[in-house]
Amino acid sequence: MPSSVVRFCLAVLALGLFAGPAVAEEPRKIAILDIELLDTSLGGEMNGGKDKPELARVAMLGDMLRGYYRDLPAYTVVDTPEMRAQGQTHNLQSCGGCDVTIGRAGGADLVMTGVVQKVSNLILSITLYVRSTETGELVQMAGTDIRGNTDESWQHGMRWLARNRLHILPPK
């Protein structure tokens, strides 16, 4: 009996000695397309949903996301002017998978889109979608509601999503 235990231990040790170092995974390439604004508020109806401060805020959220992912060794952000231009010519939430096509053409493994829906100056929501460019499958969706239409409230909402839903920021 003891000899079989010794043989087993020697076999495990031998496997450990001959096993090569673990191969590091290649970083996943992610394309983060510009976040869109869907303004269903009364103000949005009156100005056509083109409020300059809010358009600046959706651009700010996209930049925040790209920055978060750039800081992660597990990801490489794919961000080209061509991809951004392509993304801006479509409604990415209802284009039948054009986001996947844009991401795939840019060499990304994953593509992220997002939308901020403004119901009023008090009630807004941020929703993010991550799809595989290989299959088109939705691999992650994250969303939160925010209160207040300020840079600070939008940034707080994005940080919360990054930390608690996307898990790309460390917990507090």
Residue 131: the pLDDT is 96
As a whole number of angstroms, the distance between CA 130 and CA 84 comes to: 16
pLDDT tens track for 91-138: 888 888 999 999 999 999 999 999 999 999 999 999 999 999 999 999
Whether 75 and 166 have beta carbons less than 8 Å apart is answered as no
Among 110, 130, 25, 113, residue whose Cα is nearest residue 73:
25
- Please name the fold of domain 27-164: Rossmann fold (3.40.50)
- Of 54, 80, 55, the closest CA to residue 66 belongs to 80
Rg of the chain over CA atoms, in angstroms? Answer: 22
Tokens of 151: 């840079």
Residues 130-169 pLDDT 10s: 999 999 999 999 999 999 999 999 999 999 999 999 988 7
As a whole number of angstroms, the distance between CA 148 and CA 168 comes to: 24
**Spatial CA neighbour of 129 closest among 155, 95, 171:** 95
**pLDDT for residue 171:** 73
The pLDDT assigned to 6 comes to 58
Question: Distance between CA atoms of 155 and 153, rounded to whole angstroms?
Answer: 5
pLDDT per position as a tens digit, 17-75: 444 445 568 999 999 999 999 999 888 777 777 788 999 999 999 999 999 999 999 99
pLDDT number for residue 20: 46
Coil, strand, or helix at residue 90? coil
* DSSP 3-state of 122: coil
DSSP alpha helix (H) spans, the chain: 2-18, 42-47, 52-70, 81-88, 98-105, 151-164
pTM strictly above 0.85: no
